[in-house]
Amino acid sequence: MALLITDECINCDVCEPECPNGAIYQGEEIYEINPDLCTECVGHYDVSQCVEVCPVDCIIIDPDNEETREQLQAKYEKITSESA
C-alpha cells in the first residue's frame, strides 16, 4: 500500500525531506507521492515518517495501490539495489 496525500495538504514542506525513498514531490497544487517509490518506510523505519510529521493528518493509505508488507519489502529491496 503506497500512501496518498489528500487535498487537505497545506504545503508545509515537512513531509518531503522525511521520505527515505524520495517518493514525495511537489505537485501542481499539493505534495504528491509516487506509488512506485513509496514503501510506507518499510525497510527504513517502523512507521511512515511522512505520516508522523504531517501536521494536518492528510496522508492516508492509497486505495488504488494496495500492497502487502512483503510486497513493500520487495519494493524497498529493489529501490535500494538500484541506487547502490
Residues in the chain, overall count? 84
| pLDDT tens per residue, range 29-79 | 999 999 999 999 999 999 999 999 999 999 999 999 999 999 999 999 999
Query: How confident is the model at residue 6, as a pLDDT?
Result: 98
Confidence at residue 1, expressed as pLDDT on a 0 to 100 scale: 75
Grid cell 494496495 — which residue? 66
b (16+ CB within 10 A) / e for 10-45: eeeeebbebbbbebbeeeeeebebebebbbbbbbee
Cβ contacts of 41 within 8 Å, gap of 6 or more: 20, 47, 48, 49
At the top level of CATH, the class of 3-82 is alpha beta
**For the chain, what are the domain ranges?**
3-82
